[in-house]
């Protein structure tokens, strides 16, 4: 017993040195939650924002999911001057759907961004092309993805909030639509990797490198986007939204990331496999972060999200002799000062139970950010903490690999 306790005590002490500082950072972020900006609400437009917004939508083979976006944009009122769909030579009928919407709503315009210049990733190039073609009379540029489903009053609510709060750029976290069992289990764990690394939505980041953004609904003052050269600062980034937002914040402009679950839904990927492959590859945010920040985030995720469950499982299964009653028994009967050997074990156990409780509390807090009404196996959402080690592994794999393909487009190693 003595030798076992000594080895396990050393391991527990090492884990405490890794996990305690990360836990302190996590708690410092979570305590900001009560002071965050409330969720964006849909609003009715007023005359002062008449024609103030140009919407740009990049598309590439989006026929299976773009219809809700087209319908939702048509329901936005006169604050939307134009809706420019920038298509990258889709082959699945996406342009035909846009043309059909154009017959019902003349604000829709279809353009092509071919060819893709060297050094550009497809999405930022499409958005940049749309920005260059948008009306200079619009005060705001709104980039939206084809997988989003805007509610009526989204644009008016977003613009009014930006103007009232003095934001130069503001993006929204949506409500995610879940349909299949695998994604109900995996997707919340992947999303949680962002929530552990950054302040809650609605808290203004104190440093540009900690700014978070979401390109699915990305509103920026036209004058600001013009001043920074459009999307050129993010042209080679696979997380162009965060890259551009951090660049704009570094120039001294006010950037916000707010809760948009009440005005915006999104259906990102079909099933767990596509979620793992497509979304997981950009969640590391390496294109927008210096190496030190990437390594720091990997440490934080490992310490507070990836390790607690495995540590508890190992404690309960591999070392049943070290259960709390026997540890207390050993403390009483061991000679000398046994508390120095037992204390790290008990502290490590307590810390990881605490971290797991925090994880389930955070899951409860983000439940409104998910639409599970039509999901098969929606109850698996509540078991998503079991997927945390896998989600953290996905961030590690992504951090050390450069994407070679995105949305069907292949890119060179450079």
Q: In the chain, pLDDT over 90 holds for what percent of residues?
A: 77
As a whole number, mean pLDDT of residues 390-394 equals 96
pLDDT at 303 over 90: yes
pLDDT value, residue 7 = 72
Structure confidence at residue 369 (pLDDT): 95
Instruction: pLDDT band for 332, please (50, 70, 90 cuts).
Output: very low
Instruction: Quickly state the pLDDT bin for 12 (edges 50, 70, 90).
Output: confident
Q: In angstroms, how far is CA 385 from the centroid of its own chain? A: 17
For the segment 115-140, what is each residue's pLDDT rounded down to a tens digit? Answer: 899 999 999 999 999 999 999 999 99
pLDDT at 336 over 60: no
Distance CA 302, CA 145 (A): 31
Grade residue 407 by pLDDT with cuts at 50, 70 and 90.
low
Phi-psi region of 92 (alpha: psi -120 to 50; beta: other; left: phi over 0): alpha
Q: What is the average pLDDT across 239-244?
A: 96
CA angle 156, 158, 162 (to 5 degrees): 115
* pLDDT band, very low/low/confident/very high, at 411 (cuts 50, 70, 90): low
Q: What are phi and psi of 329, to 5 degrees?
A: -65, -45
Residue 107 has pLDDT above 60, yes or no: yes
How far is residue 129's CA from residue 164's CA, in Å, rounded to a whole number? 29
The stretch 101-116 carries a mean pLDDT of: 94
Say whether pLDDT at 356 is over 90: yes
CA 355 – CA 350 distance, rounded (Å): 9
Pairing of strands 148-150, 217-221: unpaired
- Give the pLDDT band of residue 330 (cuts 50, 70, 90): very low
Domains of the chain: 2-33+295-406 (no CATH), 38-187+199-284 (3.90.550.10)
Residue with tokens 């950009």: 282
Mean per-residue pLDDT for 342-367? 91
The pTM assigned to this predicted structure is: 0.90
Q: What is the pLDDT at residue 413?
A: 55
Q: How many CB atoms lie within 10 A of CB 207?
A: 9
Weakest mean pLDDT among 33-37, 200-204, 409-413: 409-413
Q: What are phi and psi for residue 31, nearest 5 degrees?
A: -70, -15
């Amino acid at each position: 017993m003595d030798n076992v306790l000594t080895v396990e005590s050393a391991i527990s002490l090492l884990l405490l040195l890794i996990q305690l500082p990360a836990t302190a950072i996590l708690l410092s972020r979570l305590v900001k939650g009560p002071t965050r900006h409330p969720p964006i609400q849909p609003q009715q437009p007023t005359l002062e924002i008449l024609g103030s917004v140009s919407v740009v939508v990049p598309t590439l083979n989006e026929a299976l999911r773009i219809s809700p976006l087209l319908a939702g944009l048509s329901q936005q009122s006169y604050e939307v001057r134009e809706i420019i769909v920038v298509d990258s030579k889709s082959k699945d009928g996406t342009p035909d759907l846009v043309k059909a919407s154009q017959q019902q709503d003349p604000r829709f315009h279809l353009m092509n961004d071919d060819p893709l210049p060297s050094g550009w990733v497809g999405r930022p190039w499409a958005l940049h092309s749309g920005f260059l073609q948008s009306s200079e009379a619009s005060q705001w540029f709104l980039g939206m993805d084809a997988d989003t489903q805007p509610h009526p009053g989204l644009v008016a609510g977003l613009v009014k909030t930006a103007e009232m709060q003095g934001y130069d750029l503001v993006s929204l976290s949506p409500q995610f639509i879940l349909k299949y069992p695998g994604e109900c289990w995996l997707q919340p764990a992947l999303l949680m990797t962002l929530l552990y690394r950054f302040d809650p939505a609605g808290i203004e980041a104190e440093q540009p490198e900690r700014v978070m953004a979401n390109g699915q609904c990305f509103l920026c003052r036209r004058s600001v986007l013009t001043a920074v050269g459009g999307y050129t600062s993010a042209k080679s980034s696979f997380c162009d939204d965060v890259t551009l937002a951090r660049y704009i914040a570094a120039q001294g402009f006010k950037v916000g990331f707010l809760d948009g679950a009440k005005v915006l839904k999104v259906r990102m990927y079909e099933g767990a496999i596509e979620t793992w492959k497509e979304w997981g590859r950009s969640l590391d945010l390496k294109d927008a972060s210096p190496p030190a920040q990437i390594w720091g985030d990997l440490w934080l995720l490992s310490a507070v999200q990836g390790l607690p469950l495995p540590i508890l499982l190992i404690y309960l299964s591999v070392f049943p002799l070290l259960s709390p009653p026997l540890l207390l028994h050993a403390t009483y009967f061991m000679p000398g000062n046994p508390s120095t050997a037992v204390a790290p074990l008990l502290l490590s156990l307590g810390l990881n139970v605490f971290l797991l409780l925090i994880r389930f509390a955070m899951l409860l807090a983000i439940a409104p950010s998910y639409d599970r009404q039509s999901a098969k196996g929606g109850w698996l959402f509540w078991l998503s903490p079991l997927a945390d080690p896998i989600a953290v592994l996905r961030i590690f794999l992504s951090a050390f690999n450069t994407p070679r393909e995105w949305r069907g487009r292949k890119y060179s190693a450079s």
